[in-house]
Structure 1
Amino acid sequence: MLLLRCHLKQASPQKVLCRFCAAMGKLQSKLKHSTYRYSSPDGFIEERMQTKAFQQYSPAHVDAVSVVAALNSDLCVSGGKDKTVVAYNWRTGHVVKRFKGHDREITKIACIHKSNQFFSASRDKMVMMWELQGPSQPRQQFSGHAMVVTGLAVSPDSSQLCTGSRDNTLLLWDVGTGQCVEKASVSRNLVTHLCWVPREPYILQTSEDKTIRLWDSRGLQIAHTFPTKQHIQTYCEVSEDGHRCISCSSGFGGEGCEATLWDLRQTRNRICEYKGHFQTVASCVFLPRALASMPVIATSSHDCKVKIWNEDTGVCLFTLSLDGSGPLTSLAVADTISLLCASFSRGIHLLRVDHSRGLELREVAAF
């Protein structure tokens, strides 16, 4: 301390100030500061600053991440513009395995439930099947689309795979043989996403023609068409019980940019809408029932925000801003309190619900 005082006495006021600022900079670099917006049920919005422990893990990809999906309670699978598929342990921050085989950007990932197998779709018009414990080469390849593959869904018993494309077609494949068993084509049906209904032979599909369709896999026929929306439908998800589904839409400046809850049972009508994003909503998921006393859903958007909504009322319960991440491209449930969110600029974000403060969502890691 005496030596420090001597140095300070000899130094000019400008030098002392510079040294002080440098020391403070080193201290601040060890903390993670992020701003988020909290929306209470009564509509009150408050900007808050949080300082939390944050982990910056080694990156999963060297470019924008297009899609992320949960493989099991520890691992996720992601794909991006770097043409690679990556299995990553999001709990430890380690790459488990990299898979290379596609010639262009990865567009979709679909995992086989309770297994180490998964599928990837790409702009190279190909779909590949991979095995975590197997070789780095694809176990199976599915080639049949004329344009980029933009939809990928696995049947509940894992025996069939449905793929969709911007070529207006859906193809149904036998997973074991890799053979196409059914084909359906609808004019202007540019597929944006596919999701298989749990325990049912039905496949839900969104399209750039603003339509949501329910397909019967037995013959690949349209079983139901939902009322046409005003904007492109970008994504869809089915609830675990198979009774409801969500779709989300493109938009800009608050026009469109919503998620919609639909009834999949008798009426198949719109139940609720979730409005509050300002740009295209790219992904939507049902959150685990253990998470809250009420049913909740989450959405991610190109406006760099993740929102949690009361499923029944449409009220936004919480908004997390991931500023600097670029458009958010994909959202996946990792476990009962964690979400994975893919982005253009900062890789994949690990988000966690803070139960000590209600349903507050915070970023705890990025890779």
Structure 2
Amino acid sequence: MGIYNRVGWEHTEYTGHTDNVFAVAWSPDGTRIASGGRDNTVHIWDPLNCQRLLTFHGHPTCILAIAWSPDSQYLATSCTSGLVQVWQARTGTIIHTYRGHTRFVRSVSWSPDGTCIVSGGDYGDNTVQVWQAFDGTHLYTHSGQYRIFSSLWSPRTARIASSCFEDNVQVWDATTGDHQIQYDGHRGAVYATSWSPDGTRIASAGHDRQAHIWDASSGQTLCIYREHTHFIKAIAWSPNGDFLTSAGNDTILQVWNAETGQRLVSEFRQHQHWIRSLAWSPDSTVIASASQQSIHLWLWQQSRY
């Protein structure tokens, strides 16, 4: 991870896109970043030098979500036309096109074993669908929420959490679709969710300018973070489980303690516009944040705290 260990390196930027970037995801092996947005392309690039490795042109409309397979070999990407593409990350070859949704697909997530994908539809679709990743076989549809903003598979358990325009997050069985619990702690739309790496807690954030951490089994609120001044559109748990980063319409990226909710670092203020997506490097040392036409990489030096 060479550049990350250079003395004094704090921040760099990828500027390969020609329009707003809405999604960014770090490969599980730590070697690549994928990003996509309004220019209808997905870029795969090297975080060490910010050089583009591949451009994927397989979507007809704006990219909304990106997810790497657990083995870093494939990507699932979605767009405003309702399509989800599964493709090879090294070559850009399309493996399958999933057409089960009717409108915007704002979220995609792989099962921990890499065999299935969950995708969530916004606007006129309003469904969360689970399907086999490599042939698109539909397994079931979870309904009952209006405008799905996030749908995430737990990293350790057979559960999925989905959030929506209404003020709730639902947790349900990933194999059967059976409802387990509903979290109602927010006031207004819940735009973003993130599972803790051990699958025991969920962080959620949204229109009420708050980020909540709560127990994924009982729904009990454990912590509320109130440092943002505008809507929170993105939240991400560090892979080591110690930190959360959150950002949104106030253009400020904040890092805070996952146990206490205490902010741990002065705000990162390089962005001039809304931040729409966040991703941690697998070793929890670098944060990627997307806004307008660029993705910023921030060195997170845990040794300071």
Where 1:319 maps in the other structure, the secondary structure is coil
| Alpha-carbon displacement from aligned partner over 1:45-99 (angstroms, at most 9, x marks no partner) | xxxxxxx667766623111110100013121111111000111101122101000
| Alpha-carbon displacement from aligned partner over 1:279-302 (angstroms, at most 9, x marks no partner) | 111111222439xxxx32111122
Change (3 A) 1:224 1:106: same
Residue 212 (structure 2) aligned to one of 260, 263, 282: 260
TM-score by length of 2: 0.90
Match of 2:288 in 1: 340
Counting only pairs closer than 5 Å after superposition, residues 281-320 of structure 1 correspond to structure 2 as 281-289=232-240, 295-320=242-267
Unaligned runs of 5+ in 1: 1-51, 251-255, 360-367
Counting only pairs closer than 5 Å after superposition, residues 1-367 of structure 1 correspond to structure 2 as 59-71=15-27, 72-134=29-91, 136-166=92-122, 167-186=125-144, 188-250=145-207, 256-265=208-217, 267-289=218-240, 295-334=242-281, 335-345=283-293, 347-355=294-302, 358-359=304-305
Which structure's residues are more often helix, by fraction? Answer: 1
Where 2:264 maps in the other structure, the secondary structure is strand
Q: Contact 1:305–1:319 (CA<8 Å) still a contact in 2?
A: no
Which structure's residues are more often strand, by fraction? Answer: 1
Cα distance in 2 between the residues matched to 1:58 and 1:228: 36
Name the amino acid aligned to 1:74: T
Change (3 A) 1:258 1:57: closer
Cα distance in 2 between the residues matched to 1:94 and 1:242: 34
| Alpha-carbon displacement from aligned partner over 1:248-284 (angstroms, at most 9, x marks no partner) | 112xxxxx2111001113x321100001111111111
Cα distance in 1 between the residues matched to 2:273 and 2:71: 32
Cα distance in 1 between the residues matched to 2:286 and 2:10: 14
Change (3 A) 1:56 1:311: closer
Where 1:139 maps in the other structure, the secondary structure is strand
Unaligned runs of 5+ in 2: 1-7
**What is the number of residues matched between the two proteins?**
294
Change (3 A) 1:57 1:179: same
Cα distance in 1 between the residues matched to 2:51 and 2:173: 40
Change (3 A) 1:145 1:318: same
Q: Contact 1:60–1:88 (CA<8 Å) still a contact in 2?
A: no
Q: Contact 2:108–2:120 (CA<8 Å) still a contact in 1?
A: yes
Change (3 A) 1:158 1:306: same
Give the number of the structure whose alpha-carbon radius of gyration is greater.
1
Cα-Cα RMSD: 1.9
TM-score by length of 1: 0.76
Percent identity between the two aligned chains: 23
